[in-house]
Amino acid sequence: GAGVSQSPSNKVTEKGKDVELRCDPISGHTALYWYRQRLGQGLEFLIYFQGNSAPDKSGLPSDRFSAERTGESVSTLTIQRTQQEDSAVYLCASSLLQGNTIYFGEGSWLTVV
Amino acid sequence: AQSVTQLGSHVSVSEGALVLLRCNYSSSVPPYLFWYVQYPNQGLQLLLKYTTGATLVKGINGFEAEFKKSETSFHLTKPSAHMSDAAEYFCAVSDLNTDKLIFGTGTRLQVFP
């Protein structure tokens, strides 16, 4: 596809359930990022993948959060035992090289009820 | 560690007036600096970026920003605001050592007729 694709675009889940969010980066982009944006707030860095290097997980807020990436393609962000404070837009982005433009997907809106 | 400070969570201007959105950064190495815009109910898109070279950077929609190392600033300006400029603007920083993009908390720009 032409851009970063995320699914689902909207997800409503019950507190305590697990959710999986998917990101398809732009083809050929080696770097992939996950960010979280709570309502009315800025972007919070979660995790970063670059090629075959170990991912930078320094932004993951708790051990309920994890992410995987298959090679230089799809990534999934998993939130276990969701809490209401997990409600946010989860944004995925990708880029080609260091210093290059980072392209964002439309985001996955997660609501935990 | 890198950080970004955006002064003013809300800025209001009249149509035709100068737009000035402030951004200061902290980085121990030469930074890469970005401005992203988020229109209502849309994803983030790049306005402009500074990596190396000319310190005055021109972006889309008539916006520009100047990298001032002595002031550790990268303020965003536009000579004449348009109603369509109403959006959330995010300043971000990365550097040669990391692709991780750190965002400011954002500034919401309102444009009044």
pLDDT digits (tens, 9 = 90+) for A42-73: 889 999 998 888 898 999 999 999 999 988 78
pLDDT confidence of residue B51:
86
C-alpha distance from B64 to closest chain A C-alpha (Å): 16
Which residues fall within 8 angstroms of residue B43, CB to CB, at 6 or more apart?
A91, A104, A105, A106, A107
Asked if residues A104 and B43 have their Cβ atoms less than 8 Å apart, the reply is yes
Quick check: A102 pLDDT over 70?
yes
C-alpha distance from A109 to closest chain B C-alpha (Å): 11
CB contact under 8 A, B43 and A106: yes
Asked if residues B105 and B6 have their Cβ atoms less than 8 Å apart, the reply is yes
pLDDT confidence of residue B50:
92
CB contact under 8 A, A45 and B103: yes
Distance, in Å, from the CA atom of A53 to the CA atom of A61, rounded to the nearest integer, reads 21
Residue with tokens 């290097």: A53
Which position has the higher pLDDT, B98 or A67? A67
Distance, in Å, from the CA atom of A34 to the CA atom of A56, rounded to the nearest integer, reads 11
Distance, in Å, from the CA atom of B26 to the CA atom of A6, rounded to the nearest integer, reads 31
Q: What is the mean pLDDT of residues A21-28?
A: 94
pLDDT band at B96 (very low <50, low <70, confident <90, very high): low
Quick check: B85 pLDDT over 90?
yes
Question: What sign does the dihedral A87-A88-A94-A95 (CA atoms) show?
Answer: negative
Residue with tokens 């964002």: A104
Q: What percent of chain B has pLDDT over 70?
A: 96
Which position has the higher pLDDT, B97 or B105? B105
Tokens read off for B75: 């303020």
